[in-house]
Amino acid sequence: MSGLFVTDEQVAHARALAREITEPIFELIGRNTTVSVERTVLRWFGVDGVGNLGAPLVNLMVDRLQAAGVLNRGAAFWYGRALRMGATSPLDAVERLTAAPLERLAPLSHEDEAKLRDEVRAEARAAVDELKARVAKREALKREFPMPPAPHKYVIVATGNIFDDLDQARAAAQAGADVIAVIRSTAQSLLDYVPQGATTEGFGGTYATQENFRIMREALDDESEKLGRYVQLTNYSSGLCMSEIAFMAAYERLDMLLNDAMYGILFRDINLRRTFIDQYFSRRICALAGIIINTGEDNYITTADAYDAAHTVIASQFINERFALRAGLKDEQLGLGHSYEIDPHRPETLLLELSQAMLVRRCFPAAPLKYMPPTKHKETDIFFSHVYDSMAHLVAMWTRQGIQLLGMMTEAMHTPLLADRYEALKAASYVHRAARGIDQEFTVKEDGLVANRARFVFGKALELLEECRADGMVAAIGRGRFGDVKRSETGGKGLDGVVEKASDYFNPFLDLMEGRA
């Protein structure tokens, strides 16, 4: 399949275009930080917990720094300043800084500031080493309990109560699930803070909190030992707290995170600048922690027609890949998203879906890829839905997808019951077993429907990439080129959390992750 449809030169040209398209965005990222990035820095230093009124301490401290107009120097600098003021713990540092008249503090001497930065760098190195040790524990478990071959069967739990999620996750793992995704409570991505502790109430899902991550990872470690195979855990690193959630997930040893360059902009109306800056820092953390990211191109063809907008998926995947590689992620960490979503009433849909999935695999041969099930055209006919999902299983095997989210026969009716998940896993396991090796047995006609469709889609994707290069990513998003959704550079939620860096901005974690320290 590696030589099908398009030439190596054409694929290389698409990558070159993506590099040019993203370069101005990286200039924006380099000039700015955000309140979420700075809160992440504080969390990494060990600042945790909530204040008297329930607000997270990291929010209290960053809000204080921003109100004083000094956040542009970096929260790490002010954390170090608190240590120099005699703080004996992260909590003490927060209390000193929220009480001090920061605007009127006497500047440090050059020598004292150099010492401050050295002390904070040393603490940051220790914190990074601690994170790496926790990641090593996860990797040791994977070696002890090997995972089955791909595609890994990925199912969701979404009760709203983390303890009910545990029961559902264990049952799914016992029925054959390889990846458990804890769906986030509706609209959590629009909260500019992370809830604290274990949560038992949520709408459409369960809140993403560090304690919930710990509880679920611990339960799946126990289940992995019982089953003799490692069960992966994923959650969502997106929205206004993208980088904070990435750190908490890395610390609690999650395996995957939904993390997309444009999803928050398009589908949650989060400010464009805020999203790009936050996603870069979050992806640096994912790269350090060996977390596989899942991108969100499958969403484009739920708001736009999957047949007509297929090229937008390919173009976005090249852009998402470039953002990820620049942040230090490796090919094997790129779960680029796409899905089986063409209207099932259209003739030859199996061939059309096979063409799209083959094209994605052709363009990204080393990436695991994340294949989503049909959802947009699901009906309340559960028997049809079951067959519909099975066709996606076949395509997943034929095109060597790495991660396959399983559809449910009761999709769009209610949150899946244990029995629904069991049936989905049973059917997927059968097709994966029955069709293994199919990609080695059949070749595709160079002038047939599958190949011609793929060449057409790739050609349209190149046209879109050329437009993005000529006019810029911001203009393309403003015209609704992705997902038929239009957004402006200064619109959306969270722009007030973007801060231009001072010339002496200090973030030792970023320095370490970028190899400058």
Give the catalytic positions in this structure.
Answer: 263, 298, 370
Helix (H) or strand (E) holding 92: helix 90-99
CA 264, distance to chain mean position in Å, is 11
Rounded distance, CA 336 to CA 314, Å?
10
Rounded distance, CA 264 to CA 273, Å?
11
Strand (E) positions, 269-326?
A: 292-294
Rounded distance, CA 310 to CA 330, Å?
25
What's the CA angle centered on 318, arms 317 and 324, to 5 degrees?
Answer: 85
Identity of the residue numbered 451: A
| Crossing angle of helices 418-435 and 382-398, rounded to 10° | 40
CA 260, distance to chain mean position in Å, is 5
Rounded distance, CA 309 to CA 300, Å?
8
| Crossing angle of helices 242-251 and 35-44, rounded to 10° | 20
Residue of 190, 186, 191 lying closest to 204 (CA atoms):
186
Strand (E) positions, 295-348?
A: 334-335, 337-339
How far the first Cα of the chain sits from its last, in Å, is 43
Q: What is the DSSP letter of 139?
A: H
